[in-house]
Amino acid sequence: MLNCNMAKQVNISFDITVYDSFEELSQADQMLMQIAIKARQKAYAPYSKFQVGAAVLLENGEVVIGSNQENASYPSGLCAERVAIFHAGAKYPDVTISVIAITATSKKYEVTTPAAPCGNCRQAIFEYEFKQGLPIRILLMGESGNVVQCNSLEDILPLGFNNTFLK
């Protein structure tokens, strides 16, 4: 039998801002990214040699940082973004998170493309964005090259899972 149901095609798209270089960012964003750069230098990444730094700006003006923390038992390590966002959640549980700046470097090659958060980190940051009901702006950078800005975490995690499913 012929199925006459018409499936709907829905397009999900989002805008990003691409800056040619770090110098094009606002002063405030440059300062935040500088803190993320400093954080990446303190990453503990003896296995991958890939060092990531993240700086979270809160609505009260405070900045908290994170860097990736690896482990000889590989899955026990944690990405910079989750270290930073959990740090923010632990230190300022009731303060809105405004921006997270993320940057990566490697001891093996020059990272010239923006470092994007992995799926687990997107899910972790999404939890806080959903909780606060306000978008978290995301700045992504390698060591050099373009800087990408996303306007919210939800943009880069469409159809994300959240606590509304947990009745």
Which C-beta is closer to ligand THU: that of 25 or that of 102? 102
Q: How far is the CB of 43 from ligand THU (least distance, A)?
A: 7
Q: Is 81 assigned a catalytic role?
A: yes
Q: How far is the CB of 3 from ligand THU (least distance, A)?
A: 42
Q: Which of 70, 81, 143, 154 is catalytic?
A: 81
Rounded to the nearest 10 degrees, what angle do helices 80-91 and 27-41 cross at? 110
Which C-beta is closer to ligand THU: that of 8 or that of 108? 108
Q: How far is the CB of 153 from ligand THU (least distance, A)?
A: 13
* Residue 20, token pair as written in the block: 């040619």
Is residue 94 within 8 Å of 121, Cβ to Cβ? no
Which C-beta is closer to ligand THU: that of 35 or that of 52? 52
Q: How far is the CB of 44 from ligand THU (least distance, A)?
A: 8
CA 103 to mean position of chain CA atoms: 9
d(CA 16, CA 54): 19
Q: Using the 8-state DSSP alphabet, how is residue 21 labeled? A: S
- Kindly give, in sequence order, each residue whose CB lies less than 8 Å from that of residue 118, ignoring residues fewer than 6 positions away: 79, 81
Which C-beta is closer to ligand THU: that of 17 or that of 71? 71
Contact residues for ligand THU, defined by CB under 6 A: 45, 48, 50, 52, 68, 70, 77, 79-81, 117-118, 121
Pairing of strands 50-58, 16-19: unpaired
Active site residues: 81
